Amino acid sequence: MAYICAYLSTLVVFLLCDMAWLGTMASRLYRPTLGDIMLGSPNLPAAAAFYLIYPIGLVIFAVLPALKSESLGQAALSGALLGFFSYMTYDLTNQATLRNWTTQLTLVDIGWGTLLGGISAAAAFWITAKLT
């Protein structure tokens, strides 16, 4: 039961936070920087795969170890680190290969991924600890 709760709470928090971010920043940061290489609307199967799979990583590497050690701080730190390294890999690869990708976009997006990972893992830890 703890695994299901951890996954669902991570998924919901991650998805809601990222939708708020993208809803706010797509037209302010991503579209002006990326221009015509950005799709008019997202590729839904790819987006669904990302949003269903990435929280599994947060659960495995951040939430479950933190539940075992009963440490909210560990959840937040491990989630933030996973977000940092994951988003850094994505952003630096894009910056190395895409003409329109800027250092500003890289730094902002890595910052967001770090924060998103930390918030999602900490919230999922708290919810799971309270419900199980």
Residues in the chain: 132
pLDDT tens column, 28-74? 999 999 999 999 899 999 999 999 999 999 999 999 999 999 999 99
- Looking at residue 130, what is its pLDDT? 97
- Looking at residue 114, what is its pLDDT? 98
- Cα separation, 112 vs 126, in Å, equals 21
- Looking at residue 96, what is its pLDDT? 98
Contact 80, 111 (CB under 8 A): no
Q: What are the extents of the domains in the chain?
A: 2-131
pLDDT band at 105 (very low <50, low <70, confident <90, very high): very high
pLDDT tens column, 66-98? 999 999 999 999 999 999 999 999 999 999 999
